[in-house]
Amino acid sequence: MSEYLLTEGNVRKKIISFAMPVFIGHFFQQMYNIVDALIVGNLVDSNALAAVTSTSYYVYLVTGFFYGFAIGAGIVIARYIGAHDEEGTSRSVHTAVWLGLLFSLLMTCIGIFLSSYVLRWMGTPENVIYQALGYLKVYFAGSTAFVLYNVFVGILQAAGDSRHPLIYLILSSVLNIVLDILFIGPLHMGVKGAALATVLAQALSMALAAHRVCSVSDSYRLRLTALRPASKTMRLIFKYGMPTAVQGCIIDLSNILIQSYINSFGSNAMAGIGTSAKLEGFAFLPVTAFSMALSTFVSQNLGAKKNSRIREGIWFGLGCTIGILLLLGGIMYIFAPQLVAFFSNDPEIITYGVTRTRICTAFYCLVGFSHTASAVARGLGKPMIPMIVMLVCWCLVRVVVLATLGQVLHDIRLVCWIYPFTWSLSSAVYVFYLKKSMKKVS
């Protein structure tokens, strides 16, 4: 396991060697959603495109909650690994997988049961809601694959192994593209085919990750006969995972409220804004990569009591994330019309998509700063801080603005500007937090 440990060796090389596979892997994972939207938008119709893109926030709301616990489990496992506590590592791995099995059942039931109610609450147009509901039911029926995949990958990444998850994501992404074309094209399965393709591809990556975790010879190996929860470890996972889970839900709940506002402009606005959000997912891949790398890096080195490495890693991760987002934001601003046109040639859809993209891209660096600072806080064992910051800045403020100004000013640009505004607020708070944190690890 020494080759994966982040407590030894050159700090910059270790972070990059961890972050790059995560970046490439999430690029392919993002292809799940992009390919679905591309093929649906070009082979079906604009209503189908609106159905796929407008359900994203609800999917993120449910999956994000359970994903938060996977992150919490990863932090606990990484801390034990950094401290070379083999018994604690094994105990936390088996507890995490046990919780994953339980959560997969809960996610399936919650996702399917609430889908129709949430779509109605969001004011989804009648010409979209039937296809959106079909997509969600198929997607959530495969929840086990999603939840367990994230648990297994969380275990591998806690040990510093981001290479194997990359291989699994590449293979599953290729399968997803092939199945999308088959199900939506020749088999004419529509949006349900897109959801089924994603589920089957996710099942492949879950199986591969499970095999890896069960076959390694290190302390984080999974033994099915030892699969049982440990109360102390479970409390730690909830301690670090619950704030992250709640934080994700809070953000996605506010996004659902925003989606409700978008829905009032019709299916073309839903498709255009949704397409812009899909493209944005690609730009945020560096955020995900360096955030995960820093969270694991800080957690392992905190367990090993190596504060100087923590400081160096934080500054390097922040610099890389912000620099990359400035570059990608500029590229997306310039080529926004061409990028949106890949999904649909409808002029109105393109106009909506370009409007949102060009407003938000100038502020992408703030997103990178906020998410990276959140990852540092979680790695330092302070998960409540990002939860509170996001609760106030990214949820409460957005809801208040839409509930007040949004009722007077019915303008799609309000939705576009609400993101940069709240990104600025959270960044201002994190400036003070990082200054304080750097002093503690000095």
**Which residue would you say has higher pLDDT here, 315 or 384?**
315
pLDDT digits (tens, 9 = 90+) for 137-150: 888 888 888 889 88
Residue 311 makes CB contacts below 8 A (sequence gap 6+) with 438, 441, 442
AA identity, residue 47: N
pLDDT digits (tens, 9 = 90+) for 187-211: 877 778 888 888 898 899 999 999 9
CB atoms within 10 A of CB 436: 8
pLDDT of residue 357: 94
User: Which sequence spans correspond to the domains of the chain?
Assistant: 2-440
- The pLDDT confidence band at residue 113, using thresholds 50, 70 and 90, is confident
3-state SS class at 369: helix
Is the pLDDT score of 55 beyond 80? no
3-state SS class at 15: helix
Distance CA 49, CA 406 (A): 26
Residue 185 makes CB contacts below 8 A (sequence gap 6+) with 39, 43
Angle at 126 between CA 122 and CA 131, to 5 degrees: 90
H or E element at residue 380: none
Distance CA 137, CA 198 (A): 13
Q: Is the dihedral of CA 146, 152, 154, 160 positive or negative?
A: negative
Residue 271, burial from CB neighbour count under 10 angstroms (0-12, 13-18, 19+): buried
Distance CA 431, CA 438 (A): 11
Residue 437 corresponds to which tokens in the numbers above?
């944190």
Residue 49 makes CB contacts below 8 A (sequence gap 6+) with 37, 40, 41, 271, 274, 275, 343, 344, 349
Is the pLDDT score of 33 beyond 80? no
Residue 106, burial from CB neighbour count under 10 angstroms (0-12, 13-18, 19+): middle
Pinpoint the alpha helices (H) of 335-396: 336-341, 347-360, 364-379, 384-390
Distance CA 360, CA 416 (A): 7
pLDDT digits (tens, 9 = 90+) for 57-74: 677 777 777 777 777 788
**Which residue would you say has higher pLDDT here, 122 or 432?**
432
pLDDT digits (tens, 9 = 90+) for 347-367: 999 999 999 999 999 899 898
AA identity, residue 225: T
Range of lowest pLDDT (27-36, 127-136, 381-390): 27-36
Residue 70 corresponds to which tokens in the numbers above?
């996977």
Q: What are phi and psi of 141, to 5 degrees?
A: -65, -25
Is the pLDDT score of 1 beyond 50? no
Distance CA 24, CA 197 (A): 21
Is the pLDDT score of 34 beyond 80? no
- Angle subtended by helix axes 347-360 and 412-440, to nearest 10: 30
pLDDT digits (tens, 9 = 90+) for 237-252: 888 777 777 776 777 7
Angle at 149 between CA 111 and CA 34, to 5 degrees: 70
Distance CA 118, CA 274 (A): 17
pLDDT digits (tens, 9 = 90+) for 305-362: 888 888 888 889 888 889 989 999 999 999 999 998 887 888 999 999 999 999 999 8
Distance CA 206, CA 155 (A): 13
Q: What is the largest CA-CA distance in the chain?
A: 62
Pinpoint the alpha helices (H) of 216-306: 231-263, 267-283, 285-303
